[in-house]
Structures are given as structure tokens and as C-alpha cells.
Chains A and B, each alone.
Chain A
Amino acid sequence: MNDYPQILFKNRVVGETAFIDRFRANGGYQGLEKGLREMTPQEITATVKASGLRGRGGAGFPTGVKWSFFPADQPVEKFLVINGDEMEPGTYKDRQLLLADPHQLIEGVILSAFALQVSHAYIFIRYAYEECSRNLEQAIAEAKEAGYLGRDILGTGWDLEIHLHRSAGRYILGEETAQLNGIEGVRPNPRSKPPFPAAKGLWGKPTNVNNIETIACIPHIITGGPGWFINLGITQGGVGTKLFGLSGHLNRTECFELPVGIPLREVVETFGGGVRNGKGFKACLPGGASTPFLTAQHLDTPMDFEPLEQLDSRFGTAGVTVFDETTCMVGATLNLIRFFARESCGWCTPCRDGLSFVQWILEEIEAGRGNRDQIAMLKDQKKNITGRSFCALAEGAMGPLDGLLRHFEQELEDHVKLGRCPFGD
């Protein structure tokens, strides 16, 4: 059914994991051989830069650019951290990758570590992904056995050790600097930037942080070349493929590898099989819980960074959560805000206390105890939280609230007018 090129999912068979034999039989570790034997670290970085790959962890920062800031040539201890926290509701793509094909990540880690000239990489895996952790442990052992990890890899004279860090919950650990604290074993509040991790990261040493999917793309970019990778995308600026995790009121809530730039309608209708139970499409989160809602009028938007930013939303992690016409958007937003308020790390006031204030206001309105002043309060809370918090968590929390206020203010009014939730059963 999915005729688009399958790159990251080429080995995927749902319910199975490809370990080293199948991975190699399908061309695995060729990128690694090529990169380590034929290319210099600088060439790998340049290739990644030329590919236009943007980070898949949510912020979409160009990966090659990030790497080019990294002091790869400095003879100091440095680290690579692979972000597998994946706790933003609606996002479950990294898990699919690790369930299907852990070696793909390992190959990417080795190539990236070589490009950045680090000798210790940490893969950070969230608590709930124990199966993924086990897959990775096995893959790491196999890669070591095959001589892809350890000392003097492929005769380059370069060593690499991959450490697996199993976490113990909390969304904030996905924020890169909080994650560094988490690995170090100090309280995982985010750190202030600057200094950026590339200058002062793990234990104060230069550190590069990338998402799992981002790193999994690297071997393919090296084997296929930047031109090929760019052409996988179907929008003007869109490059590569992207894992889309579909969820919510769709007939098929699965994870698909689709080209960047694919129209939202195609994602929803062709891949998601349309809205469940024949209901109408009301809204969706286009890229995870922190991305402002899109509505039916946006269905023809290409799923890519720029086009979504033009709609004041974000591509995020491409976890698309769809809401049908019977959904109370106040209730949905309340659910999302509750998540963010509960997952606040507690460091800064707008997030720690501001979000629980917003949660309370929404609870009042949803319960039919709200008033018009409180709708105005939501607006001023949004204004004063957005861009005012220490890290991007609270900013992300304002995404859905922003969507609610822009597209569904009427629903707020209705709650107040009726003194109850109009969608209540």
C-alpha cells in the first residue's frame, strides 16, 4: 500500500526485529564501510550538511550545520548523545525504528561518532522502551563481535564505545541539556544555553545530541549521497523521508515512512484510512503534543517544516494525532496542558506554576464553571508564558492552547454560555 521509497523501514517486518544477519544481508553496514574506509570525518560532515537533513527530534535544526559547529578536530574528550526519550504524546516513531531495526541506529551512531571524532557515545532510552533497550544491547554486542565497535575500528585507529542509559521516566529528559544532566546523574533540569552542549556538554566536555531517527538517516545519506536524499522529499525545501506516527480518531493508527512534504490529506486519508466511524475531520496535532492544531482547512498543507511554520504550527516529530468532529477541543487542550504541567521539571515559574494555573482555568471552563474573564485570562497566560520560560517545554505547552484560541475560541465561549461542555455525554 505504501509505494513511497522505504529507507528507514526497509528491513521492517511488524512484530519482528532484524538483527545483524538480516541487516547485513540487506546492505547494512555498507555506509559504515564506505564512511570509515573512504571518507574523512570532515567529508562525512560535509555530506550530511549537503543533504539538508534536519533534526527529527522536534526542533528541526539542520544536522550538518550542528555538526560543523562541533570541535571534532580538537584533541579533547567529547561525547555523542543519542536522544531516545520520545515522550511527547503522539510520538512513537523512534520506538518503531528500534523494534524493527536496531543495527540501523548503531551504524548511524558509529558513522556520526567517526565524523565527530568522539570515542564515547551514549544512547539514552526512556523507561517504557525496555524492549528497545534489549534490542540495542544485542545489536551493540553483535556489532562489537563484528568489529564495528571497540578498538581500532576497521583499521582506522579510532575507538568507539557505545553506552546505553536506561532512564526512569519524565518528559523533560528529552530536552537535550536535561538529558545530559540525567546521564550525569544530577537533577535533570535543563541547563542554560549558552554554553551549548557543543561547547560544554556531558561533564563539561563538547557533546553533540541528536535524535534516534536523525542518526538512523546518516548511513543512508552516506551510501546514497546527498542528492539522492534530497530528492526523496517532495516539497521544494523538503528532504528525505520521515516516519509519521498516526494516532487518534483514524482508521489506521500506524507508523509510516513517507516523503517529507506529503500533503496532510494524503496522510490522513490514504495512510490513516480516514477518520474513524465515518466522522468528519475536525483538527489534528501535526507533529506531537506541542504543535498547534491544524483544522480541516489545512488538509492540503505539505507536511514539512516551512509550510507548517507558515500556518503558525510546527512539523515537530510528525506524530499526527487526529480529532474527529465530536471532540471537545477544550477537553483535548486540557488533557495536553495537564501533561505539560505534570511533566514540568519545576525549574522556572511560568512553567511550574503558570501551566498549573492554565490547567485550572481550563478545568473551570470545561466543567462549566468558567466565565468570559477566564477566556481573556487564557489569552494573557499564553502571551506571558510563550517565550518566557527557561526551556522550550512551557513554550511547547502553549502550542495547543494557541491553536485552541486561534481556531476554537467559539468552543470556549460555548462552554461558558452553556455552563457545561457542549460535547458532554
Chain B
Amino acid sequence: METVNQTTGKDVLLPDDTIEAFRAKAADTPHPRELIVDLLRAIQDHHGWVPDAGIELAAQTLGLSPLQLEEIATFYDKIYRQPVGRKVIHLCDSICCWTTGGEQVAELLRDKLGIGFGETTPDGVFTLLPTCCLGACGDAPAMMIGLTTYGRLTAEKIDTILREIRQQID
């Protein structure tokens, strides 16, 4: 996945062919707005998060104003409008996870990562965020890293998960 253009040295927000595909879809529908969430998610998938330039690119691709994109982007909590690490950990803090030790897991994660909620590890690998219920209440306490959900968290399990992800990344 190319995230920096070799010749311009600029961040690649989305590959040109993907942008073209969105442009074509937008031209094909009477309501291009329906593509907003898809496009923001595509930029985020590719670039890790949605910077201002991503909002502008999306606006321009769909023929809307940046503000019109920003109104949507800032509503959803899973669209990141600030830089995040390469993997975002969403720890559930809703009721089922709370009853099953979610607060202790939070403590544990903070310790292990050395960061608080809303922060990114100095090596840029992990960002820790709280989230509401992940729909994994039967497997509480649960967290989601990227788009993968992990349940029945214990100290050992968390260690393994974090270690494996670090290995994958290297």
C-alpha cells in the first residue's frame, strides 16, 4: 500500500484509480452524498486517518463543499480526524464489559502501553480509545483493534495480542 508518493513525497490519501471509481459512481447517482461515509472510510483505510486534505479530496471527488464533508465526518466516532497510530485499540466501556472487569482492563492497557485514552504510543503503533458496546457483550470484556474484535480479555491474552500485532507490523 503506497502511502507516500515517491515523486512528490506527499501523502497519498487514496490511489488515483479508487478516486476515479468514486468519481464515476458519484456521476452515476442522483445523490452523491450517499458515498460520503464510504469514501471517508476508504481514505481512512488507506491513509490511517482523515486529514484536512482528505476532507478536501472527498469533497472535490463528490462535488460537495469541504464543510459538507466535515459535517458528516465529525459526527461519526470511527472516522478519525486526528492522527492515530497504525493500530487503533477501541476498548469497550459499556455496561457488560464494565460488569466483567472492563475498568481493570483499561488500567492494564494504559500500563502496558504507557499511554492514556486518546493518546498514541511514542513508536506510533497504538492509539488507545474508548468505545461504546462492540456487540461482543457475551465475550466481555472486549476490545476492537482495527476491525478485529477480541473478547474475554485477560492480562495474558492482551499481552499476546499486542505482541502479535507488533510482530505483524515489523
Contacts and interface: CB of A to CB of B under 8 A. Distances in A.
Contact of B137 (A90, A203, A323): A90
A343 B93 CA distance: 13
Nearest to B76: A168
Contacts of B96: 89-90, 247-248, 253, 321
A186 B64 CA distance: 12
B103 to A, nearest CB: 9
Interface residues of A, number: 51
Nearest to A134: B147
B127 to A, nearest CB: 15
Contacts of B99: 247-249, 321, 323, 327, 332
Contacts of A183: 34
B35 A185 contact: yes
B139 A253 contact: yes
Contacts of A342: 132
Contact of A89 (B72, B90, B132): B132
Contacts of A166: 37-38, 41
Contacts of A285: 95
Interface string B29-69: 00111111110110000000000000000000000000000
Contact of B144 (A128, A321, A323): A128
B95 A86 contact: no
Contact of B33 (A86, A129, A165, A184): A184
Interface string A155-184: 000000000011111110000000000111
A184 B144 CA distance: 27
Contacts of B98: 332, 335
A58 interface: no
B78 interface: yes
Contacts of A245: 137-138
B91 to A, nearest CB: 12
B19 interface: no
Nearest to B44: A168
B138 A165 contact: no
Nearest to B32: A185
A358 interface: no
A168 B137 contact: no
Nearest to A342: B132
B113 interface: no
Contacts of B34: 183-185
Contacts of B135: 86-87, 91-92, 94-95, 126, 128-129
A254 interface: yes
Interface string B7-45: 000000000000000000000000111111110110000
A167 B76 contact: yes
B76 A185 contact: no
A339 B132 contact: yes
Contacts of B78: 127, 168-169
B94 interface: yes
A261 interface: no
Nearest to B98: A335
B138 A289 contact: no
Interface of B: 31-38, 40-41, 71-72, 75-79, 90, 93-96, 98-100, 131-140, 144, 147-149
5 tightest A-B CB contacts, nearest first: A185-B33, A169-B78, A168-B76, A89-B94, A89-B133
25 contacts: A86-B135, A87-B133, A89-B132, A89-B133, A91-B137, A92-B136, A95-B135, A127-B147, A128-B144, A130-B147, A130-B148, A165-B37, A166-B41, A168-B40, A168-B77, A168-B78, A169-B78, A170-B76, A185-B32, A187-B75, A203-B31, A246-B138, A249-B100, A255-B138, A336-B95
Interface of A: 86-92, 94-95, 126-130, 165-171, 182-188, 203, 245-249, 253-255, 285, 289, 319, 321, 323, 327, 332, 335-336, 338-339, 342-343, 345
